[in-house]
Amino acid sequence: MGMNKKKVPRLIWKFPISFRDIEKAGEVANKIKKRFQNLGMKPEIVRRVSIICFEGEMNLVLFAEKGGLIRVEVFPDRIDIFFEDEGPGIKDINLALTPGYSTAPEWAVEMGFGAGMGLYNIKKNSDFFEIFSEVDKKTMVHSRIFLTKCKDGSPRRSNLNES
Amino acid sequence: MNLKELVENLGIKLLNPGVNLERDISDAYVCDLLSNVIANAPEGSIWITVQRHSNIIAVAVLKSLAGIILTQGIVPGKETLDKAIEEKIPIFSTPDNSFRIAGKIYQMLLNK
């Protein structure tokens, strides 16, 4: 009481992601999934975190020319996931968020990547979502999942987007 | 219905013998786009696809899928098989195309 303590994360995990290391793609998402299961998180939260991390990891593998980083921060009331990279950046963020729009290379599309659902799926599974990008420089995607509900029992979602 | 019954009835070939085939299958999902599978495949379902690269194992683990059936006689490379063994994901091959094998499994699920 009295002291207005700044909230600090209970856990911080960082995972570097290698550009075009397609063989390993998905391994970090599974590692994060297992860690959340071990923390005893609800299956619904684990499911959302898994989807967010898989899509974010794929984006970094496909586009993070100088490598990327996934940072996961776990607070008592929320999970923050950041995907950061120095790479081509995103010219038109609204377009990139449109389901079905993809700039993935042909070889990746043939492997079943690049469906144009990545950022859309991240946003859809987040309670809060933001993205910053500078063309030819960097991109940062921030996804937040709340672990607590509002006083009236409704989910704490700050971007109630199209389903 | 479990994976064992699937093998016995459909003649699909298990590519990584030794994995547990007792697991129940509740559903199946047919798709070759990884994002779609990640977003929509029901947990515990068997995944029918033509994708053979090693990332399919990561997807199956992430979604807790019961197994993967590769259609049209497709056989995965060593990398994929090694990962399937490591992650204990049953992986099968069938000469049927995705439509035909899906239809057969659908029929089996209906009759259970």
Contact at CB, A55 and B53, closer than 8 angstroms = no
Contact at CB, A22 and B61, closer than 8 angstroms = no
Touching check for B35 and chain A: CB below 8 Å? yes
Residues 6+ apart with CB under 8 A from A93: A131, A133
pLDDT band at A40 (very low <50, low <70, confident <90, very high): very high
Q: What is the pTM of this model?
A: 0.89
Touching check for B51 and chain A: CB below 8 Å? yes
Cα separation, B74 vs A157, whole angstroms: 44
Nearest CA in chain A to B32: A112
Cα separation, A68 vs A59, whole angstroms: 9
Touching check for A113 and chain B: CB below 8 Å? yes
What residues of chain A lie within 8 A of the CB of B63, using their CB? 50
What residues of chain B lie within 8 A of the CB of A107, using their CB? none
Instruction: Supply the ipTM of this predicted assembly.
Output: 0.84
Asked if A143 contacts A32 with a C-beta cutoff of 8 angstroms, the reply is: no
Contact at CB, A117 and B61, closer than 8 angstroms = no
How many other C-beta atoms are found inside a 10 Å radius of the C-beta of residue A137?
11
Q: What is the mean pLDDT of residues B70-93?
A: 96
pLDDT of residue A4: 61
Helix, coil or strand: residue A100: coil
Cα separation, B16 vs A43, whole angstroms: 28
Q: Which of B33, B49, B79 sits opposite A115 (nearest CB)?
A: B33
Amino acid in position A141: V
Assess whether pLDDT exceeds 50 at residue B73: yes
pLDDT band at A162 (very low <50, low <70, confident <90, very high): very low
- Site from A17, A36, A54 to mutate, B interface, most B CB atoms within 10 angstroms: A54
Asked if B26 contacts B44 with a C-beta cutoff of 8 angstroms, the reply is: yes
